Amino acid sequence: MQRLIPVLNSDHVPLHLISVINTLLTAAKEISHRLHQGSLAGTLGSTLDANIQGEVQKKLDVVSNQLIKNMLLETGLVHAVASEEEDDVVMGNPDAKYLVAYDPLDGSSNIDINGAVGTIFTILEKPDHPAEGTELFLQTGDEQLAAGYILYGPSTLLVMTTGRGVRVFTLDHTVGEFLLTVDKITIPQDTQEFGINMSNQRFWLPPMQQYIADLLAGSTGPRKKDFNMRWNAAMVSDVHRILTRSGIFSYPMDYKDPKKPCKLRLLYEAMPMSFLMEQAGGRSSTGYERIMSIQPTHIHQRVSVIMGSRNEVDTCLGYFKQHPCTRPDSI
Ligand code: AFP
């Protein structure tokens, strides 16, 4: 099986970009080890602090964030990093050209129940025009150079793209190398499986309520086929299921907390996952627009997410067209 570096070389990925990706994976190997140690590593449980998102930080959120940030900045190849766990952008080498935005431990509410969690990352280039701080990262998803996630499950997987399709690498713990195990992912265009947090159903916009109601009606309803549901409460795990066997995943905007109508973050969750979805032949939308086209206005901006098998996402988007409701400003 091929190791990561020769594969990225064959994809004509610049050497310094390969180094940045490899550094992320060095941090990921340490995170994987600490997760698999569980209680023995003394890093389960929560801290007494909350991040800028207002979420209580798990001890491993903090540890993972520090590991990734420090290792990336030590390379001298990174101009700045943005993280779910950092209020602001952290500047690196002013002469370097790569920007890295990441969610160090997505799904961290699963840590204490031994559930799957992951690291999500996207790599951008410092813009040609003068820009500082958060402005550096305000680029559309189409500007991404590379994106992916490391899924810490029964096996530790790297799923990534540099714009030439989606590949899967599996960590061989015996030699500490990520080895190519899937050369190219193509998502089936149709599906019978959906992922959404049903407890928010009464807060969704009417088009999403109607779309999901028709899925639940199954073969007795307008879709004339039954659907299965899965919800892992970790985007990395739900997205990996879709990349592996089809599906549609959504965390739509809802009126549960008017101050926070959307949950998922655009820069370091929705954008990288949308890059993977489109590279694998899928679709990714807010319900009103392609996520990869959105011009971010803030590094912690949230967005409504509907992504997965192309034909199923198009069917869902049809409900937003058929049931026009006033488009909320927030999505
Ligand atoms: P945490 O990292 O706080 O566990 O949140 C994970 C997440 O951002 C995303 O990975 C999941 O799809 C979504 O939240 C789950 O949200 P609910 O807990 O509301 O289902």
Mode of pairing for the β-strands spanning 264-265 and 248-251: unpaired
Q: What is the pLDDT of residues 212-228, one digit of tens each?
A: 999 999 999 999 999 99
Q: What is the pLDDT of residues 12-37, one digit of tens each?
A: 999 999 999 999 999 999 999 999 99
CB of 233 closer than 6 angstroms to any ligand 1 atom: yes
Average pLDDT over residues 255-267: 93
Instruction: From 264, 263, 268, 275, select the one nearest 82 (Cα to Cα).
Output: 268
What pLDDT is attached to residue 258?
85
Looking at the domain 4-182, which fold is it? Fructose-1,6-Bisphosphatase; Chain A, domain 1 (3.30.540)
The binding site for substrate consists of 106-109, 197, 263
What pLDDT is attached to residue 230?
98
* DSSP helix/strand/coil, 63: helix
Quick one: which H or E segment has residue 235? Answer: helix 235-245
Average pLDDT over residues 173-192: 96
CB 185 within 8 A of CB 167: yes
Calpha distance 251→303 (Å, rounded): 9
CB of 106 closer than 6 angstroms to any ligand 1 atom: yes
CB of 27 closer than 6 angstroms to any ligand 1 atom: no
Q: What is the pLDDT of residues 127-143, one digit of tens each?
A: 998 888 999 999 999 99
pLDDT band at 49 (very low <50, low <70, confident <90, very high): confident
The binding site for Mg(2+) consists of 84, 103, 105-106, 269
What pLDDT is attached to residue 322?
87
Whether the domain at 4-182 and the domain at 193-326 fall into the same CATH topology: no
| Pocket test residue of 109, 152, 232, 267 for ligand 1, highest count of atoms within 8 A of CB | 109
What pLDDT is attached to residue 324?
64
Instruction: From 145, 329, 309, 128, select the one nearest 215 (Cα to Cα).
Output: 309
Average pLDDT over residues 287-308: 97
CA 248 to chain centre: 14
Q: Which amino acid is at 178?
A: F
**Which is the closest atom of ligand 1 to the Cα of 249?**
12
Is residue 50's pLDDT more than 90? no
Calpha distance 161→277 (Å, rounded): 10
Calpha distance 102→37 (Å, rounded): 23
Give the domain ranges of the chain: 4-182, 193-326
CB of 104 closer than 6 angstroms to any ligand 1 atom: no
Query: What CATH number matches the domain at 193-326, 1.10.150.20, 3.40.190.80, 3.40.50.2300, 2.120.10.70?
Result: 3.40.190.80
